[in-house]
Amino acid sequence: MRLHIITTGGTIDKVYFDAKSDYQVGDPVIGDLLRDLGAALSFTVESAMRKDSLDLTDADRALIRERAEACEERHVLITHGTDGMVATGQALKGLADKIIVLTGALQPAAFQRTDADFNIGCAVGALQCLPAGVYIAMNGRVFDIDNVVKNREANRFEALEA
């Protein structure tokens, strides 16, 4: 399996700039993270944008779809902010023969208690075993894109139907 990774920004990539007492979306973390974790995967990474997912536009989503369609690889992993993840997943449906999994993090990868490693692991594990389609891997679960919602109160992803 050769894997193509498209990064779009979101909490997973957030870093803290003391100079501005502010956080910002930084460099995509996933490439270094996979290498540091000893992942024996063949993968390429492209950065499509660096945005909070609340700020993603229809044009951004069209671009992500274009990139996912254009790449040679059948297996595509997308790192993404959590708030707009379901909407982007919906915009990716219908790409014949592609297995697409979106993931991200509720706490930045730079944090001691981040869910980034776990979520990326879950996405990578699922990608190797799924049929073509669009999925979200969050909170240790693999959801079909038509059966998932972010529960903002509880700050986690849930199935529409159990």
Residue 130 lies near a second copy (rule: CB under 8 A)? yes
Residue 63 lies near a second copy (rule: CB under 8 A)? no
Residue 161 lies near a second copy (rule: CB under 8 A)? no
Q: By the 8 A CB rule, do 127 and 41 touch?
A: no
C-beta of 24 vs 66, nearer to a second copy: 24
Q: By the 8 A CB rule, do 61 and 87 touch?
A: yes
Q: By the 8 A CB rule, do 97 and 75 touch?
A: no
Residue 34 lies near a second copy (rule: CB under 8 A)? yes
**63 contact partners, CB below 8 Å, separation of at least 6:** 48, 49
115 labelled ligand-binding: no
- Residue 148: which of 139, 132, 136 has the closest Cα? 136
C-beta of 54 vs 66, nearer to a second copy: 54
- Minimum CB separation from a second copy for residue 66, in Å? 26
44 labelled ligand-binding: no
Residue 94 lies near a second copy (rule: CB under 8 A)? no
The secondary structure of residue 12, as a DSSP letter, is: G
Question: Active site includes 11?
Answer: yes
